[in-house]
Copies of this chain bind each other. A is one copy, B any other.
Amino acid sequence: MTHPRAILLVQCPDRPGIVAAISSFLFRHGANITDFDQHTAEEEGGVYFTRLEFQTDRLDLPPEDLERAFALDVARPFAMDWRLTLSSRRKRVAILVSKHDHAMLELLWTWKRGDLGGDVALVVSNHPDLRPAVEAFGVQFEHVPNTREIRAEAEARLGELVDGRADLVVLARYMQIVSPELVARWPKRMINIHHSFLPAFVGADPYRQAHERGVKIVGATAHYVTAELDAGPIIEQDVGRVTHRHSVDDLKRLGRDLERRVLARAVRWHCEDRIIVHGNKTVVFD
């Protein structure tokens, strides 16, 4: 817990010798690997994914130089897409929310308790209602009205507020359309919670859709936002049983529990650099 650590995420074409190359490099420079997970996808001739955690207090060179050396010695020969993060550099989270407070509150509480893996930097809402709840946590709250008519202006303001202040944007039941431009601004850095078990019940009012279809299980899905609605890479899902006795309101109540649990897990995994996006899927090293 007390040792400074770093996390290395790698994605590259699969071929023999990758593990040996990475682990020998780190060993040579005094890094002690404490966690090592890997995965090989069979598609496209084989894609190799790995996540390593290592202690950095006995490195024989500063982290920046280690990065440079890694790029030259290992990453280039293996054509790696990679990212090195120091654990001292915690991710900062911006939450976008409308009126439903359950998902946002779960993130704030989880953060307060030290379980989020990152820090909540600010909350932005298109309604002023949640200001007191947010400020009670000592977190900055910004009211940015947003409707179809003033979308461009609202999103410009959102961009200004978030950039430089946050590394991750979380839509915690943000009930506004997000333009392709905004999506493109934070690729693989914007997480949404959808209140159904995707790909079932895409679009509006999924609990009503679920009730009408008479399903026996409902769910919630956290995913990265892409240009296509509710179709981005899925990070996490969870479900709960229902019966004919559940009204739409019952589904909503049950769903609130699923949504906040699923979203909190997804945000923690992102903050702890446990997720690699590959095509429209995620590799989650949990």
A residues whose Cβ falls under 8 Å from a Cβ of B: 16-17, 19-20, 23-24, 26-28, 30-42, 102, 105, 109, 113, 115, 136, 197-201, 213-217, 219, 233-239, 243-245, 247, 253, 256-257, 261, 280-284
Which of B39, B236, B247, B284 touches A42 (beta carbons < 8 Å)?
A: B247
Please, how many angstroms separate the alpha-carbon atoms of A38 and B36 in the complex?
Answer: 6
Answer whether A257 and B261 are a contact pair too, CB < 8 Å, given A213-B199, A236-B216. yes
* A215 and B237 within 8 A (CB): yes
* A39 and B244 within 8 A (CB): yes
* A105 and B109 within 8 A (CB): yes
Which residues of B sit under 8 angstroms from A237, Cβ to Cβ? 215-217
Please, how many angstroms separate the alpha-carbon atoms of A282 and B102 in the complex?
Answer: 31
Which residues of B sit under 8 angstroms from A115, Cβ to Cβ? 253
5 A-B pairs in the complex with CB atoms less than 8 angstroms apart:
A19-B19, A37-B38, A198-B200, A199-B213, A215-B234
Which residues of B sit under 8 angstroms from A17, Cβ to Cβ? 27
Question: What distance in Å separates the Cβ of A18 from its nearest Cβ neighbour in chain B?
Answer: 8
* A239 and B236 within 8 A (CB): no
Please, how many angstroms separate the alpha-carbon atoms of A198 and B216 in the complex?
Answer: 10
Which residues of B sit under 8 angstroms from A200, Cβ to Cβ? 197-200
* A39 and B215 within 8 A (CB): no
Please, how many angstroms separate the alpha-carbon atoms of A284 and B246 in the complex?
Answer: 12
